[in-house]
Amino acid sequence: MEADIVDLIGNTPLIKLKYPSEITGCNIYGKAEFLNPAGSVKDRAALGIILEAEKNKEIEKGGTLVEGTFGNTGIAFAMINNARGYKTIIVMPDNASNEKRDILRNMGADLKIVESLPYSDSGNYQHVSRKLALELNEKNGGNVIWGNQFDNIANYKFHESTTAQEILNQTEGKIDGFTCAIGTGGTLSGVSVGIKQKNKNIKVACSDPQGARMYNYFKHGKLEEKGDPSETEGIGQYRITKNVEPSLIDMSYHITDYEAFDLLYKLVKTDGLFLGTSCGVNIAGAIKMAKDMGPGKNIVTILCDDANKYYSKMFNKDFLQSKKLPIPEWI
């Protein structure tokens, strides 16, 4: 079979996380989503959205996709769209990392940076991207789509049919718990629905970064943030998106940036893992889940992307000091 880059999305390895397993007496595994061809778990969401739009004949060669994104989804779309002959227009808030901007520009995406504003403001990047897609679609007479990763359920459905099934196969069904953070909710919902269809006794936890509202929502039924805004990227949700709605959640954990960053630096040395910020939240959540469930359990989480896009935060002494975050001793 002739494969192209898009065919490399998914089927990522599941690896054992040595340090987290040792300190809990559980087997904690990470799904190595950073090995997807555009470098993150968002390759799956982007492909799910494109396949659905192609199936519905909403986009064809020469068409354009517009998306509002913190970066990874945009990078995934840029790759798939380049390979498929579609144009990519990305609207990104100005607090996403410079590294992500550079990648998008260098991949030839049309990048629009907007002020970082809350979802309730009409200038929020998600609303700007929707309006832009509608305007362009009207002007062009069709063939322009809005990715709408937060509320387009092709996102979680793709995780249900791929990520969840891969995890079940790779653990031979011997999985007791799964946890990850929420950006759009696609990964957590898709995996929770997919694995519970097979075995409803598998527990699922939401691991939420500080400053987001999902911890309190799943723990206490209240959409209320806890703590100061997080420096982690791509996660931390305020509202029940269409991709959060179907999630089947048993437990909820609040993870501080200090815990997340500290763990990320530890894992560089104990496991040789050089992971991005959201992985710190996911693995800290998996450790809490393991402690709650007791020794001997098999717990899976997601390794969303690697550290290369976050040098200006994770390996910048001044930044870390200003945010009172731990500093790795080797920088």
Q: Where are the alpha helices (DSSP H) in the chain?
A: 18-24, 42-55, 72-84, 98-106, 125-140, 154-161, 163-170, 186-198, 214-220, 257-270, 277-293, 311-314, 317-322
Q: State the minimum distance, in angstroms, from the CB of residue 87 to ligand PMP.
A: 22
55 is catalytic: no
Q: Distance (Å, rounded) from C-alpha 154 to C-alpha 161?
A: 10
Comparing CB distances to ligand PMP, the nearer of 35 and 181 is 181
Cβ-proximal residues to 280 (8 Å cutoff; 6+ apart), any chain: 232, 255, 259, 260, 261, 262, 263, 264
Chain positions 269 to 298 lying near ligand PMP, rule: CB under 6 A, are 276, 278
The answer to whether 304 contacts ligand PMP (rule: CB under 6 A) is yes
Which stretch in 7-15, 107-115, 119-127, 228-236 sits in contact with ligand PMP by CB under 6 A?
A: 228-236
What's the min distance (Å) between Cβ of 42 and ligand PMP? 5
Beta bridge partners, 302, equal: 31
Instruction: Point out the catalytic residue in the list 31, 40, 42, 309.
Output: 42
Tell me which residue has its CB nearest to ligand PMP. 234
Distances (CA, A) of 307 to 78, 99, 107: 20, 11, 19
| CA-based end-to-end distance of the chain | 46
Q: Which lies closer to ligand PMP via its Cβ, residue 41 or residue 255?
A: 41
Cβ proximity to ligand PMP, 36 vs 137, nearer residue: 36
The single residue listed with the structure tokens 């362009």 is 136
Site residues for ligand PMP, window 57-116 (CB under 6 A)?
70, 72
The C-alpha atoms of residue 273 and residue 186 are separated, in whole angstroms, by 24
Kindly report each contact of residues 120-125 with a partner whose C-beta sits within 8 Å and lies 24 or more positions away, as own/partner.
Answer: 124/68, 124/93, 125/68, 125/69, 125/91, 125/92, 125/93
Contact status: 182 vs ligand PMP (CB under 6 A): yes
Q: Is 235 in the site for ligand PMP (CB under 6 A)?
A: yes
Q: Which stretch binds ligand PMP (CB under 6 A): 121-129, 230-238, 249-257, 286-294?
A: 230-238
Q: Does 183 bind ligand PMP (CB under 6 A)?
A: yes
Is 230 an annotated catalytic residue? no
Q: Answer yes or no: are the C-beta atoms of 311 and 210 closer than 8 Å.
A: no
Q: At what angle do helices 154-161 and 163-170 cross, to 10 degrees?
A: 20
* 144 is a site residue for ligand PMP (CB under 6 A): no
Q: In angstroms, what is the minimal distance from the CB of 186 to ligand PMP?
A: 4
207 binds ligand PMP (CB under 6 A): no
| Minimum CB–partner distance for residue 143 and ligand PMP (Å) | 26
Catalytic-labelled residue, pool 100, 230, 278, 313: 278
Site size toward ligand PMP, by CB under 6 A = 21
Selected binder of ligand PMP within 129, 179, 187, 230 (CB under 6 A):
187
Are 147 and 46 contacting, i.e. CB atoms less than 8 angstroms apart?
yes
Cα 234 from Cα 325, distance rounded (Å): 19
Closer residue to ligand PMP (CB): 186 or 194: 186
Site string for ligand PMP, 10-49 (x = CB under 6 A): ------------------------------xxx--x----
Q: Quick one: which of 149, 141, 129 has its CA closest to 189?
A: 149
Phi, psi of 19 (to 5 degrees): -60, -50
Does the protein bind ligand PMP through residue 205 (CB under 6 A)? no
Write out the residues near ligand PMP by the rule CB under 6 A. Answer: 40-42, 45, 70, 72, 181-188, 233-235, 276, 278, 304-305
Catalytic residues: 42, 278
